[in-house]
Structure formats: structure tokens, C-alpha cells
Structure 1
Amino acid sequence: MSLASAALLSPPVLCFGLGALACALRSNLRVPAPVFEAVSIYLLLAIGLKGGAELAETRWVDFAAPAGAALALGLFIPLWCFLALRQAAGFSVADAASLAAHYGSVSAVTFIAVVSYLAQAGIPHEGFMTAILALMEAPAIVVALLLARMVRDGSEDRSGAATADIAQPSLGAALREVVSSKSFLLLVGGLAIGGVIGKAGMAPVQPFFGDLFLGFLCLFLLELGIVAAEKADEAWKAGGRLLAFAIAAPLVNGALGLLTGAAAGLSEGGAIILATLAASASYIAAPAAVRLALPQANAAYALAASLAVTFPLNVVIGIPLYAALAGLIYR
């Protein structure tokens, strides 16, 4: 319970709750859009730089197994999510593929939250986990779009006319959207810069990119709390099947990530991060790619589920839960 209390009473989580409260009270509190944009750039670049500096001192033999485990999760999670959404929940092909892409990809902000949590809890982790974050961002989107294409191709009648409810997904356009997105460029670019300069090169900018990190995260989560509360109505309107998926999927994926991380030889902290990444849902890279490739999908479903349900669930309950489960496995 001490870990759960520490998570609930941490400044970032409390700031997230303050944002949600401000929305409930219909307050005019908002983080100005230019400030929010600047803070998001700072956070993504900061984790990229730090991860790159750590990765520069990592042996490939230590990185290979966790990287393979991350890719396996990125391939498997969208597959089971798509099948469950189609067969059990009855979503259309387009909506099932859209949700599978969002839940198979990862959230950089949730990654930042779990790293902050581990730092406060004093649990060490591998420095290359930022590279794992970047590695897991795109594969699930590709898998989900391929699943949508396969279902469409398998539903043509004898005359060759497509009877599926979606058009042909454009994989190339979606991939270009992911690779050129702000989050991907900042993460990968930061990794490259951090890898070149190393820890010695990071020392002069440590006061800015290290010491101020938690403060900027609090400001970022304050605005996200407002946005998540605004999306809550859309999540409720979508019905119980979407809410059930948005709650069950992160818990199932978090357990898969934790077990996979332990099998890949990650430390306790590294396994907690991989579990959190597997449990997270993208609301930056995936929406842009899905919008291009699956215009028939209802964008409100994925955004409401990932941002209004899964994100707060992970930040408030999920991360301490994954940490507690990791404690049972590693101790």
C-alpha cells in the first residue's frame, strides 16, 4: 500500500486530479496552448536525450532480448485486441483496427509517469528503456492496418466487389505520418543526440533537462487532466463495451508486459516500465496515422478510451499495481 499511496500522492498525479476537478467545476483554468506545446517538446526531448546517453553505454547483448520482447508485444497486442473487439464486442472492422492500433502502440506521457514513479520509489531500471519506447511506437499500427486489409480482402464477393465496411488502408501514408510526427522525431532524435554526446555531454544541460523535469511534468499533467475529463462524456456515450475494453485491455497487456520483461531478463524496474508501456495506449502518433489510413473509423472511440479511461487508470492505479506484481515476481 505504501507504493500505491506514494503514486496517488505524487505531485504529477495530484496535478492531473486538479485538472480533472477544474473541468468538473467548469473553471476557466487552462494551460495556454503554446505553453502546453513547448512543455510537450521539452518532455519528449528530455527523455530521448537521457535514454540516448544511457544507451551509449549499453552492450548490444544486454539490449537484444528486451528489444525482441518489446517487438513481440507490439505484434501480439494489436492482434488479440482486434480479434476481441470484433468477435466479443462487435465493433466494425474500421473501429476494431483503430482501437487495436491505439492500444498496441504506446504513450510517451505514460512512460514519463512510470519513470517518475520509479525515481520517487527508488527502483532502478535500465537506461535503454527509452529506446524500447521508440521501438514499440509503430509496429502495432502497421499490424492493425494489415489486419484491416486482410479482413477487407477476405470479404470480396465473386465479382470482386468489396463488402467490408472500410476502404483500402494506406500503409505508406500512415507510416510516414508516424515517422514524421513530433513525438517520434523528438524521441529518436533525442536518442541519437544523447548517444553521440554521452553522459559527459549531458552534464552541462542536466540542470535544465534533469532537475526541472518533474515540474514540467506536473504542468503537462494539469492540462491532460482537463482534457481527459472533457473526453469522459464521449467514453460514456460509447457504451459499456468500450469502457470494459478500456479498463480490461491495460490490465491484461500490463500483465503480459511484466511477464515478458521478466522472461527477457529485465530488472524489476525495467519490467515495470515494459508492463506500463504494454498497458498504455497512444493518443499522439496512432490517431494521426489512423486518421489517414482508416478515415471510416470513429476517432472519438479511440481518443475517449485511451485518454479518458486508460491513461488515468494507468497513472493512478496501474503503475503501482504493476510495481506490486513485479515485487512478487522479483522478490
Structure 2
Amino acid sequence: MQLDVVVGFFILGALAQLVRSDLRLPTGLYQSCVIFLLLAIGLKGGAALSTYSASTLIPQSLAILAFGALLPLLAFPLLYWIGKWSRLDAAATAAHYGSVSVATYAVAVALLEAKGIDYEAYFPLFVALLEVPAIVVGILLARKSMQNSNKGRLAHELTCNQGVLLLLGGIAIGAWAGERTATVMPFFGQLFHGVLALFLLEMGRVAAARLADVRGQGAFLLSFGIFMPLLGGAAGGALGALLGLSAGGIFLLAVLGSSASYIAVPAAMSVALPQANASVSITLSLAITFPFNVLVAIPVYLAFVQHWS
């Protein structure tokens, strides 16, 4: 099992935090990396959309939306009945695990491209589609807690937050421009792995900084933070096989099912469920699930898919 080179930067960032180094990406550079990655992923996917028919994309997109609604329904009982969490905290955290981590997806794409493995180029569309259903289901699971929420502000956050806007905007520009995206792809394409490496350097530091929170919350956080990605990854891989995706596509859908949001969903939950304990959700998704996916799950999923394909 071989890790992609960009994972080394994540490990370096984590080590820097653990030895209490003053290493830290400037806030502006970190935000620039986020914007770059979202636009790069969206542009590439959008440019590929014109080569696929609606008869292929629509059924698959509907299946992806249903998948995004299913994942929080799998996570909620584990948190509510086994973890004995409050309905509010269980619903908010379940929404994190129904949505996706664009950074985790970017690592998976980087690994496929490094190994020369093909996948369906319209996958960024699926990434965008998976952002919203889990948030809606999480709110419905919380039920009574959304009575005092600002529904107008929530609707704006769902559709206009940075992640969704940049990803959908990149897809729209790529689909509109088609082959003309070649004029900007030397920037968004060739620099992708380098920018991802810088982003993961900071993510490693941030994840390591939350390890103390994991120790303070007990064994259940660690168990859920590892078991739920495996459950979501298995469901994603099975769905990919049912949809007839390529080996690379099955792998990517498993990765999306395994990931957990730490950007889009926290922003939406802060509006919809402000009383929920946001720190525990972020600790789970960022300090446990993200490192587990990057260091363990992604190479294991790829090895498994390659063996059975």
C-alpha cells in the first residue's frame, strides 16, 4: 500500500504541531488554496459534462442525491442510541457525515492521476450534489430545534456558501467554455498537486491541534470517527458498482461516502441549529475521520477496487 506524495505534507504539518513548531500557513494563503482547489475541481468536471448525455447524468445524479440523504440516516442512530447523544447534537453531526470533504476528494483524485487510473470526469458534479441533502436531513432529524432558526438565512447558506458557490460556479464555467478551458488549465491543472500539498500541510497542523479534544471525549468518538467512514465507504462503493461506474469511479464514490464535511456543513448548522455542539462535530470530522481517510482508507479502498476490478 503506497501513499501519494501529497500525504507526506499532511504528516509534516501534523508533526510540526505535535513538536510545537510555529509553522502555520498565513490565513490569506490558506483561503487562496481553498478557492483554487474548488475552482480547479469544478472547471475540470464542467468541461467534461458536454461529452456526456443527460440520459446518463440524470439517473446517476438522482441516485447520488438519494445517497446523500441516506448517509445521515445511517449515522444518526449510532450517535443517538449507541452514543447516547442529544437529538440535536446527533442530528448536526450526522449531517457532517452525510456531506463531503472536498479536500479528501482532492487527495483521492491526485492519487488516481498519479497512477494513471481513469474515472468519470463529471465527478465534481456529484461532489456538489452531495453538499445539500445531508444538511436538509440533519435539520429534519433535529425537528423541534429548527423552530427558531432563520430559514431565509439558512437557504442562502445552503446555496451561496463558499464551497457550493465556487464548485458549482467552476462546473458552470467549465461546461460553458468546454475546450476553451484549455487556456486556464495550465494554471488550474499543472499547479493542482502543489497547491493541494500546501493545503494539506495546514490541514495536518489543524488536525493535530484537535487531538487533545479527542482524548477528552473518550473512546466513542474514535470508534465512530473510524466506523462511520468505513460504513459510508462500503455503501458508496456498492452504489458505484450498481451504477456501472469505472474502477476509478467506484473508488471515488467510496471516498465521497467515507468523507465528512468540516466547512460547508458547520456553516449551515451554525445557522439552522445554533444550539448544537459544533466543536464535537468538527473534532470528529477533522481530527479523526479526515486523517483516517487520507492515511488509511483512501489507499485501502484503491487497493480493494483494483483487486476486484
Normalised to the residue count of structure 1, the TM-score between the two structures is 0.90
**How far off is 1:279 after superposition?**
0.6
- Quote the sequence identity (%): 46
Specify which of 254, 258, 283 is matched with residue 304 of structure 1.
Answer: 283
- Corresponding position of 1:197: 177
**How far off is 1:242 after superposition?**
1.6
Aligned-residue Cα RMSD (Å) equals 1.3
Verify the 8 A CA contact 1:19 1:226 in the aligned structure 2.
Answer: yes
In structure 2, distance between residues paired with 1:268 and 1:66: 16
In structure 1, distance between residues paired with 2:65 and 2:165: 19
Q: Say yes or no: does 1:294 pair with 2:273.
A: yes
- Corresponding position of 1:238: 217
Specify which of 223, 229, 241 is matched with residue 250 of structure 1.
Answer: 229
Which amino acid counterpart does residue 270 of structure 2 have in structure 1? R
In structure 2, distance between residues paired with 1:50 and 1:82: 34
- Corresponding position of 1:179: 159
Specify which of 274, 281, 286 is matched with residue 253 of structure 2.
Answer: 274
In structure 2, distance between residues paired with 1:176 and 1:101: 17
- Corresponding position of 1:161: none
In structure 1, distance between residues paired with 2:146 and 2:175: 41
**Secondary structure, in 3 states, of the residue corresponding to 2:189?**
helix
Aligned residues: 308
In structure 2, distance between residues paired with 1:178 and 1:146: 15
In terms of mean alpha carbon deviation, does 67-76 or 267-276 score higher?
Answer: 67-76
In terms of mean alpha carbon deviation, does 83-92 or 126-135 score higher?
Answer: 83-92
Which amino acid counterpart does residue 294 of structure 1 have in structure 2? L
In terms of mean alpha carbon deviation, does 121-130 or 320-329 score higher?
Answer: 320-329
**Secondary structure, in 3 states, of the residue corresponding to 1:265?**
coil
In structure 2, distance between residues paired with 1:175 and 1:224: 28
- Corresponding position of 2:120: 126
In structure 2, distance between residues paired with 1:87 and 1:178: 28
Q: Say yes or no: does 1:44 pair with 2:38.
A: yes
- Corresponding position of 1:220: 199
**How far off is 1:122 after superposition?**
1.6
In terms of mean alpha carbon deviation, does 234-243 or 126-135 score higher?
Answer: 234-243
In structure 1, distance between residues paired with 2:95 and 2:163: 16
Verify the 8 A CA contact 1:148 1:169 in the aligned structure 2.
Answer: no
In structure 1, distance between residues paired with 2:278 and 2:261: 13
In terms of mean alpha carbon deviation, does 14-23 or 68-77 score higher?
Answer: 68-77
Which amino acid counterpart does residue 206 of structure 2 have in structure 1? V
Deviations 1:77-119 (A, max 9, x none): 1012112211111110111011101000111111111110111
Which amino acid counterpart does residue 255 of structure 2 have in structure 1? T
| Structure number with bigger Rg | 1
Verify the 8 A CA contact 2:139 2:146 in the aligned structure 1.
Answer: no
Which amino acid counterpart does residue 282 of structure 1 have in structure 2? S
In terms of mean alpha carbon deviation, does 56-65 or 242-251 score higher?
Answer: 56-65
Which amino acid counterpart does residue 183 of structure 1 have in structure 2? G
| Structure 1: gaps (5+ residues) | 153-165
Specify which of 84, 92, 111 is matched with residue 90 of structure 1.
Answer: 84
In structure 2, distance between residues paired with 1:173 and 1:265: 39
Which amino acid counterpart does residue 126 of structure 2 have in structure 1? I
In structure 1, distance between residues paired with 2:100 and 2:131: 5
In structure 2, distance between residues paired with 1:241 and 1:17: 24
Verify the 8 A CA contact 2:37 2:196 in the aligned structure 1.
Answer: yes
**How far off is 1:167 after superposition?**
5.5
Verify the 8 A CA contact 2:13 2:203 in the aligned structure 1.
Answer: yes
**How far off is 1:300 after superposition?**
1.0
Deviations 1:298-323 (A, max 9, x none): 11111011001100111111111111
